[in-house]
Amino acid sequence: MEENIRRLKELIDGSDNIVFFGGAGVSTESGIPDFRSVDGLYNQKYKYPPEEILSHSFFERNPEEYYRFHHEKLRLTGAKPNAAHRKLAEWEAQGKLKAVITQNIDGLHQAAGSKNVIELHGTLLRTYCSRCGKPYPFELVNEGEGVPRCDCGGVVRPDIVFYEEPLKDEDIERAVHFIREADVLIIGGTSLVVYPAAGLINYYRGHKLVLVNKGETGADSYADLVIHEKIGEVFSQL
Ligand code: CNA
């Protein structure tokens, strides 16, 4: 571990073009469960598999069941950024880090002070009517009960990307730009199995690919530095 931290520190110290690509594992140390760890959402039992509940067609078909799951599992309850979020914001403020590209929907990177955050899967912090597009305060969805409705009768939804929905072109283009131009690419807290997001790392052209993830991933074999530890614990030592 110590040798890996030393190597990572050397890469960070020597670069002013770091890009971070992350996922749910970045927020587990803030108390938000991920999907695929043993205590993650996919290993808990529901009437329907989470992939199905979090799909566009399910939301349209069964908003009551969707919102039962949302209120139980996706509600934001005051989680705070951890050492990983804070360190990334610090590097950006120092001019060393160019972008945080995240699959997370919890807003914790911005809460830590990061400015250039590309939220590939949207955010729970914005909501709008799925019929007429009218925006609503986040509290309506986060703190309410049952299915939140718009004045027009449509169902209000969080501005997250459901399964079956495309990512925004603009987000993909910006993510590809930053990854392609990156000197150091750090991938952290992601199982790299959700596409197309996971495929974006293939645009990296450098030789300083760092992976900080508790479990193994498909990118371990070609990363230049692999650290199988908790990302908050690792980043707090940098
Ligand atoms: P995932 O598939 O659940 O994978 C998480 C990965 O992180 C696993 O490989 C774990 O081993 C690893 N991990 C867990 N804790 C840590 C830690 N402390 N340090 C380092 N590694 C850790 O999640 P992905 O992000 O890869 O999958 C993409 C989905 C999950 C996206 O669509 C997200 O929107 C969705 N998600 C987001 C949140 C959130 O916003 N916080 C929470 C749960 C799921």
Q: Is 28 in the pocket of ligand 1 (CB under 6 A)?
A: yes
Q: Is 237 in the pocket of ligand 1 (CB under 6 A)?
A: no
Residue position matching structure tokens 């469960």: 33
Q: Is 105 in the pocket of ligand 1 (CB under 6 A)?
A: yes
- How confident is the model over 164-199, as pLDDT tens digits? 999 999 999 999 999 999 999 999 999 999 999 999
- Split at pLDDT 50, 70, 90, the class of 48 is confident
Asked whether residue 40 carries a pLDDT value surpassing 90, the answer given is no
Active site residue 109: no
Structure pTM? 0.96
Residue 211 neighbours by CB under 8 Å, 6+ apart: 186, 187, 188, 217, 219, 220, 223, 225, 226, 227
Nearest to 28 by CA among 233, 194, 223, 198: 233
- CA-nearest residue for atom 22, ligand 1, is 25
For the CA of 42, the nearest atom of ligand 1: 3
Burial of 119 (0-12, 13-18, 19+ CB in 10 A): buried
- The pLDDT of residue 50 is 84
- The pLDDT of residue 45 is 67
Determine contact, residues 84/132, Cβ cutoff 8 Å.
Answer: no
Mean pLDDT of 9-14: 97
